[in-house]
Amino acid sequence: MRGLVGIAVAAVATFVTGTLARPLIVNPGTADDIVITEHNTINSTSKIQAQGANPLEVDVVNNFGSNQMYLYITGTDSNGVACLLGPDGNFFYPNAGGSAIPVPIQGDYKISLGGVGSTTKVTLPDFLISSRIWVAEGELQFFTLINGDGKTVIVEPSVSNPSDPSASIKWGFVEFNWNNGEIYANITYVDWVGISMGMALTLGAGQTQVVKGLKGGAVQHICNDLNSQNSRDSAGWDKLCMTNGNGEALRVLSPNLRIAGDPTWQAEYYNGYIDKVWSKPTPAT
Ligand SMILES: *[C@@H]1O[C@H](CO)[C@@H](O)[C@H](O)[C@H]1NC(C)=O
Ligand SMILES: *[C@@H]1O[C@H](CO)[C@@H](O)[C@H](O)[C@H]1NC(C)=O
């Protein structure tokens, strides 16, 4: 089966800073500031995962803005090797040169998107799983290393690390597995939101499934709502909003991702409630 994934990218409006709001301001660092977790790595395995060619066409519609946008596709191929899609339509294999610490991936693995209103078409040559389609306003930085088993690891931009080298770029991704003609894909709005993305899947028979995703400007609205909630209870909701130095909203984290980066955040949030619950079953005297 030949599938087609269409992705639409909507505008993110400028963030309006509230008087009490103290967002998490990003400060992009270098390779030394990278935090490696299971959420921002793709590890090669030694397992052969599939055989045979199965192309997948991906159409990306740019509804975002006038700055140059780039597309990146990451995943593991049918031999279990971590790779990206190159602009020539072939898989691109990073070379860490034996480094055990993250080094920038050398070579051409970014795909330029056309301007506002245009559709950019790329075709995945074959099977790719643990995959992400990244769309960014500007260039993202991917790194690579060789792990203890001698396998290539791709280190991706991190959504939750404010010092990640790509932290000041607006980006979003869609996750998918393209496995011998079967596709699983989602817009992953469980852990965070960045650039608003919607998705349509067209099957060979012409049936289409659509996931609309968030509206353009949603990141700003979510930040505004978090700020007003914070002005009511001062519980730190404003810290879920990540902005650049100009106060522009870049992305919003879910509480679980925020806690992963700062275990003290809302650590006492439920204390009052727990005390109330404990006060109920007072033993009879
Ligand atoms: C990949 O391997 C690194 C260690 O090299 C580990 O920290 C990370 O969690 C692994 N990623 C995944 C997705 O399993
Ligand atoms: C999204 O899809 C990917 C690929 O199938 C899967 O690994 C991931 O768990 C899914 N994420 C969510 C939030 O459902």
Task: Output the pLDDT for position 2.
Answer: 44
32 CA distance to ligand 2 centroid (A)? 29
Residues for the chain: how many in total?
A: 285
pLDDT in tens, 181-239: 888 888 877 889 999 999 999 887 778 999 998 998 899 999 999 999 999 999 999 99
**Cβ 184 under 6 angstroms from ligand 2:** yes
Say yes or no to pLDDT of 14 above 80: no
Q: Is the pLDDT of residue 15 over 90?
A: no
* Segment 21-40, tens digit of pLDDT: 677 888 899 999 998 888 89
The whole-number pLDDT of residue 8 equals 67
Strand order in the sheet with 192-193: 24-25, 241-243, 249-253, 192-193
Provide φ and ψ at 155, rounded to 5°: -105, 120
- Residues having CB within 6 Å of any atom of ligand 1: 36-38, 41, 43, 147, 153
Q: Are strands 3-10 and 56-63 parallel, antiparallel or unpaired?
A: parallel
CB 144 within 8 A of CB 103: yes
Residue 23: CB atoms within 10 A of its CB come to 23
Ligand 2 pocket test target in 188, 190, 192, 201 with most atoms within 8 Å of CB? 188
Q: Rounded to an integer, what distance in angstroms lies between the CA atom of residue 199 and that of residue 182? A: 16
Whether the predicted pLDDT of 284 surpasses 90: no
Nearest to 123 by CA among 178, 66, 190: 178
d(CA 100, CA 106) in angstroms, rounded, equals 16
Nearest CA to ligand 1 atom 12: 38
Q: What's residue 221's pLDDT?
A: 93
CATH fold, domain 4-17+28-216, is Thaumatin (2.60.110)
**CA atoms within 13 Å, Cβ hemisphere of 8:** 15
Mark 127-145 as b/e (b = at least 16 C-beta within 10 Å): bbbbbbbbbbbeebbbbbb
The finding on whether 16 has its CB within 6 A of some atom of ligand 2 is no
* Partner residues linked to 132 by β-bridges: 74, 175
For 107-116, how does the pLDDT look when each residue is reduced to its tens digit (9 = 90+)? Answer: 999 999 999 9
Best mutation site among 35, 39, 43, 155 for ligand 1, i.e. most ligand atoms within 8 A of its Cβ? 43
Residue 262 pLDDT > 50, yes or no? yes
Query: Which of 10 and 72 is assigned the larger pLDDT?
Result: 72
Domain boundaries, given as residue ranges, for the chain: 4-17+28-216
**Cα of 262 to ligand 1 centre, how many Å?**
20
Pocket-testing residue among 36, 144, 177, ligand 1, by greatest number of atoms within 8 A of Cβ = 36
Give how far Cα 111 sits from Cα of 72, 86, 90, 158, 180, Å: 6, 7, 12, 20, 24
